[in-house]
């Protein structure tokens, strides 16, 4: 019975961490879109918030979550210019 409870607890913990990842990933996408929109308007923008969230995502220890690359101002500009 103890092993069963341990497995349930492990699954609950994994789910909690995965939900945290999903929230951070959504936040990262929001910040990227915000930077893209500012860049399109030729307004100043920063990638600091994007990379802060990216670093939090990369610290999550789930095997099936690939690491995310930090974003540079140049990357945003290149993306906008390709559109």
5-38, pLDDT tens digit by residue? Answer: 888 888 888 889 899 999 999 999 999 999 999 9
- Which residues, including other chains, have CB under 8 Å from residue 80's CB and lie 6 or more apart? 36, 39, 40
Q: Quick one: the chain helix, strand, coil %, rounded to 5? A: 75, 0, 25
CA distance 38 to 43: 5
Check pLDDT > 70 for residue 1: no
Phi-psi region of 61 (alpha: psi -120 to 50; beta: other; left: phi over 0): beta
Q: Are 68 and 54 in contact (CB under 8 A)?
A: yes
Mean pLDDT of the chain: 93
Mean per-residue pLDDT for 31-54? 98
């Amino acid at each position: 019975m103890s092993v069963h409870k341990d497995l349930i607890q492990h699954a609950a913990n994994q789910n909690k961490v995965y939900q945290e990842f999903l929230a951070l990933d959504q936040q990262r996408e929001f910040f990227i879109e915000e930077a893209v929109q500012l860049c399109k308007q030729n307004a100043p923008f920063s990638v600091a918030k994007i990379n802060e969230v990216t670093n939090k995502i990369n610290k999550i220890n789930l095997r099936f979550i690939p690491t995310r690359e930090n974003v540079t101002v140049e990357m945003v500009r290149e993306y906008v210019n390709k559109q």
